[in-house]
Amino acid sequence: MRKLILQLHLWVGLTAGAILSIVGITGSVYVFQPELTALLYSELYQSADPDAKVIDGRTIVAKAEAQFGGEVSTILFPLRELENYIVKVEGKKEFVFYDGATGAYLGEMAKRRGILEDVLEIHRQLTLGEIGSTVTGIASLLLVIVLLSSGLYLWLPHKKKQLKEGLRFKPNASFKRRNYDVHKVFGFYFIIPLFLVSITGVYFAFPEKVQAVVDFVTRTEEPTPDVKKIKSTYRTDLPEVTIVQALDMMDTMYPGYHKRNLIMPKDSADRVYFSVVNAAEVDAGPEYRPQVYIDQYTGKILFAYEPHTAQAGHQLTRNWFVPIHFGEIGGWFTRILWFITGLMPAVLWVSGIIIWRNRTSKNKKSKSVVMVKPFSR
């Protein structure tokens, strides 16, 4: 049994390890995305007066529409790493930035977070779109189901005296032994962080399937509607909901929350969407983020996710999975720990390859030893 599990651990690790290494390294970088984005694009992300009161979003809408001659379709509000407004205007591909304190036009950028958007795309999809998302999701699932469980089984010592050897590095060891200890010791100590990061990563790749499992485990009876299928009922007798009316609804419905984003309909069947959040800065603990979908003609709420009153299964995935996956659940401690955790798949993959090559080389040498009979006259 042990030999079979060892072979399973080996070959799954060698194949999935390459993908997990890329996903892990980019994930480590993205843990500090808020700080990195603000640093790399400070002229767009940092306000001229960060301590000043943020001006009203309606002012930004009026400025953008007057400047570019089109209606504002999306607003991203000053939040977390962003001290300014970002808007999208119909007919314009770039994201437009306005100072959160003064309302002054700051500039434009093709991608909202610049190079960090590329990092996120590699992390989620390997730049391969939906196929890449499926690949990373399967690799994460293999890490959870196969690699971590088989690794723990192989780590378990046969005798209590051998327990210490699995918890520490052997002093004055050779390179081969040191490499073996790196694989074994790091694999053990990071098994829980790797499990949490991976299982939440599987959710982002296969949200509906994971949600169904979570709902079953938590006995959640009412399913969350597929938000992609939430549509407005086309009406010719009613005017469309304006962006100012949507802003009014945000103020009325959630006065104690911080506005996160507002997205207007893209076509006649689309709906108005907005979300707010409980904390303006990167914070520890769960993320309470109400999300509202509104019929663009009647102003009727088609679906609203309420983080405090939703059923258990929905709260688990929507309130907890994001801060767990990105390491924000425990503040700076878990963010730093998650940064190191993201490097572990690459460390374990490389050390595993070295272990495999050493054993392969050893087996070849043993097979090459041939017993030659003495020459007889």
SS (H, E, C) the chain: CHHHHHHHHHHHHHHHHHHHHHHHHHHHHHHCHHHHHHHHCHHHHCCCCCCCCCCCHHHHHHHHHHHHCCCEEEEECCECCECCEEEEECCCCCEEEECCCCCCEEEEECCCCCHHHHHHHHHHHCCCCHHHHHHHHHHHHHHHHHHHHHHHHHHCCCCHHHCHHHCCCCCCCCHHHHHHHHHHHHHHHCHHHHHHHHHHHHHHHCHHHHHHHHHHHCCCCCCCCCHHHCCCCCCCCCCCCCHHHHHHHHHHHCCCCEEEEEECCCCCCCEEEEEEECCCCCCCCCCCCCEEEEECCCCCEEEEECCCCCCHHHHHHHHHHHHHHCCCCCCHHHHHHHHHHHHHHHHHHHHHHHHHHHHHHHHHHHHHCCCCCCCCC
With cut-offs at 50, 70 and 90, classify the pLDDT of residue 369: low
With cut-offs at 50, 70 and 90, classify the pLDDT of residue 365: low
Retrieve residue 161's tokens.
């005296």
Q: Is the pLDDT of residue 174 over 60?
A: yes
What does pLDDT average to over the chain? 92
Calculate mean pLDDT across residues 214-240: 90
Q: Is the pLDDT of residue 203 over 70?
A: yes
With cut-offs at 50, 70 and 90, classify the pLDDT of residue 367: low
Q: Is the pLDDT of residue 24 over 70?
A: yes
pTM, full prediction = 0.89
Per the CB < 8 A criterion, the answer to whether 241 and 297 are in contact is yes
Per the CB < 8 A criterion, the answer to whether 102 and 83 are in contact is no
Give the pLDDT confidence of 238-285 residue by residue, as tens digits.
Answer: 999 999 999 999 999 999 899 999 999 999 999 999 999 999 999 899
Q: Is the pLDDT of residue 66 over 50?
A: yes
Calculate mean pLDDT across residues 16-33: 97
With cut-offs at 50, 70 and 90, classify the pLDDT of residue 173: confident
pLDDT of residue 172: 85
pLDDT more than 70, % of the chain: 94
pLDDT more than 90, % of the chain: 83
Calculate mean pLDDT across residues 60-84: 96
pLDDT of residue 169: 87
pLDDT of residue 221: 86
pLDDT of residue 159: 65
pLDDT of residue 164: 74
Q: What is the largest CA-CA distance in the chain?
A: 112
pLDDT of residue 301: 96
Q: How far apart are the first and last CA of the chain?
A: 50
Calculate mean pLDDT across residues 175-182: 92
pLDDT of residue 125: 96
Per the CB < 8 A criterion, the answer to whether 89 and 68 are in contact is yes
With cut-offs at 50, 70 and 90, classify the pLDDT of residue 222: confident
pLDDT of residue 377: 42
Q: Is the pLDDT of residue 332 over 90?
A: yes
Q: Is the pLDDT of residue 353 over 80?
A: yes
Give the pLDDT confidence of 269-327 residue by residue, as tens digits.
Answer: 999 999 999 999 998 999 999 999 999 999 999 999 999 999 999 999 999 999 999 99
